[in-house]
């Protein structure tokens, strides 16, 4: 009997650990997403949002976000401001064409979920944490997040000046299976 | 005098509006940039008419106040104001943002000169001194 204990334990451990690696549901980003930003003086939207979203409401720990935004798609609603925003004083899109967010940890929170991950912007990577919600809509779902980043942390623009240092991000990402 | 100036303002304003609408159509097809939801035909004609009527009032007032020099001063002011008004489309920020906002000033800037052009062109037909 004892000779079966070790192989059985190994089998149980193997099966148990396999469950831990079950991938969360993969979601496709729908075209109607909205990545909006606003501050005291400037505001606008980004297009060119893409990446991989794996999310399971029941198992947020196994969920992953790895998304990018094409920095050159910034649109402030004014042509001159767009040009200025893309210049080396701000996003320097020629040198840093992508804004990248990669999650490290997703947990359940009181009103939804909370994600911690690395945000790379303007060549600077910082770990940030922000809350988000997920609502199932038929065969798809909707991620909504609203949080603030300090542009000085990413060396965006010069400190002070007209544009506020805290930039509010309002993100709405509909997804399909 | 005011009647003639007003008539000139209305006619030149309407013609400027028509020219603006035609220019906008050409601009849309040439650049595939449609701003018709932001600047409609009614907006273009109304703004041009407003410019023409404002010019008529300004012309009459300056003509009364400055007599012989009134027209010279009026022409300067009308031209300077037309140039100054370019700051409006250049600085305009669409909220929510629209696609290709950088093409917007290119469409609107020429229109800001149409009322003045209409006025200067038609004035000899309406007001003879």
pLDDT tens track, chain A, 177 positions: 566 665 665 555 444 444 444 567 899 999 999 999 998 888 999 999 999 999 998 899 999 999 999 999 999 999 999 999 999 999 999 999 999 999 999 999 988 999 999 999 999 999 999 999 999 988 899 999 999 999 999 999 888 777 788 999 999 999 998
**Any domain includes A95:** yes
Write the pLDDT tens digit of every residue in A70-92: 999 999 999 999 999 999 999 99
Distances (CA, A) of A68 to A75, A149, A155: 16, 16, 19
Closest by CA to A171, choosing from A33, A76, A31, is A33
Show the domain range for B108.
Answer: 2-31+63-124
What pLDDT is recorded for position A88? 94
Residue B104 covered by a domain: yes
List, in sequence order, every residue forming a beta bridge with B58; answer none if it has no partner: none
**Rg (Cα) of chain B, in Å, rounded?**
16
Which of A45, A79, A81 is nearest residue B105 as measured by Cβ atoms? A79
- Distances in Å between the Cα of A168 and the Cα atoms of A65, A146, B109 are 20, 7, 33
Task: Give the count of domains, chain A.
Answer: 1
Which residues, 6+ apart, have CB-to-CB distance to B80 below 8 Å? none
Spatial distance between the Cα atoms of B92 and A90, rounded to a whole number of angstroms: 20
Residue among B59, B101, B110 at smallest CA distance from B82: B110
Query: Whole-angstrom Cα distance, residue B24 to residue B39?
Result: 9
**Among A101, A90, A118, residue whose Cα is nearest residue A35:** A101
Q: Which residues of A touch B101 (CB under 8 A)?
A: 75-79, 82
User: What is the number of domains present in chain B?
Assistant: 1
Predicted interface score ipTM higher than 0.90:
no
Is the residue at B51 inside a domain? Answer: no
Nearest to B97 among A77, A80, A83 (CB): A77
**Partner-chain contact A78 B94, CB within 8 Å:** yes
pLDDT, mean over chain A: 88
A68 in contact with chain B, both atoms CB, cutoff 8 A: no
B25: DSSP letter: H
Does B17 fall in a domain?
A: yes
Phi, psi of A128 (to 5 degrees): -125, 160
Structural domain contains residue A6: no
d(CA B127, CA B106): 33
What is the least distance, in Å, from the CA of A77 to any CA of chain B? Answer: 4
The residue of B86, B94, B96, B97 whose CB has the most chain A CBs within 10 angstroms, and thus the best one to mutate to test that interface, is B97
Residue B46 in any domain: the answer is no
Cβ-count burial of A136 within 10 angstroms (0-12 exposed, 13-18 middle, 19+ buried)?
exposed
Query: Dihedrals φ, ψ of A165, to 5°?
Result: -80, -30
Place of tokens 């939207």: A45
d(CA A132, CA B120): 61
Low-confidence ranges of chain B (pLDDT < 50): none
Report the DSSP beta bridge partners of residue A130: A115
């Amino acid at each position: 009997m004892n000779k079966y204990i070790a192989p059985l334990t190994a089998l149980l451990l193997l099966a148990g650990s396999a469950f831990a690696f079950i991938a969360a549901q993969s979601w496709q980003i729908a075209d109607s997403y909205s990545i909006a930003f606003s501050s005291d003086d400037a505001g606008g939207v980004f297009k060119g949002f893409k990446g991989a979203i794996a999310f399971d409401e029941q198992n947020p720990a196994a969920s992953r976000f790895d998304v990018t935004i094409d920095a050159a798609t910034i649109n402030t609603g004014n042509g001159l401001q767009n040009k200025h925003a893309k210049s080396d004083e701000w996003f320097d899109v020629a040198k840093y064409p992508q804004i990248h967010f990669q999650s490290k940890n997703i947990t359940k929170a009181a009103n939804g979920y909370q994600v911690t991950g690395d945000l790379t912007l303007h060549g600077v990577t910082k770990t940030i944490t922000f809350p988000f919600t997920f609502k199932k809509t038929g065969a798809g779902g909707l991620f909504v997040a609203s949080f603030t980043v300090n542009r000085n942390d990413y060396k965006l623009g010069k400190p002070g000046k007209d544009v506020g240092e805290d930039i509010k991000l309002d993100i709405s990402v509909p997804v399909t299976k | 005098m005011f009647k003639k100036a007003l008539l000139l303002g209305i006619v030149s304003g309407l013609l400027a509006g028509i020219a603006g609408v035609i220019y906008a159509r050409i601009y849309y097809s040439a650049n595939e940039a449609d701003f018709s939801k932001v600047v409609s035909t009614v907006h273009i004609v109304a703004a041009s008419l407003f410019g023409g009527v404002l010019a008529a009032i300004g012309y009459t007032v300056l003509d009364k106040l400055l007599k012989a020099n009134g027209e010279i001063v009026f022409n300067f002011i009308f031209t300077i104001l037309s140039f100054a008004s370019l700051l409006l489309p250049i600085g305009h920020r669409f909220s929510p943002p629209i696609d290709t906002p950088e093409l917007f000033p290119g469409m609107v800037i020429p229109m800001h000169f149409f009322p003045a052009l209409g006025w200067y062109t038609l004035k000899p037909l309406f007001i003879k001194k």
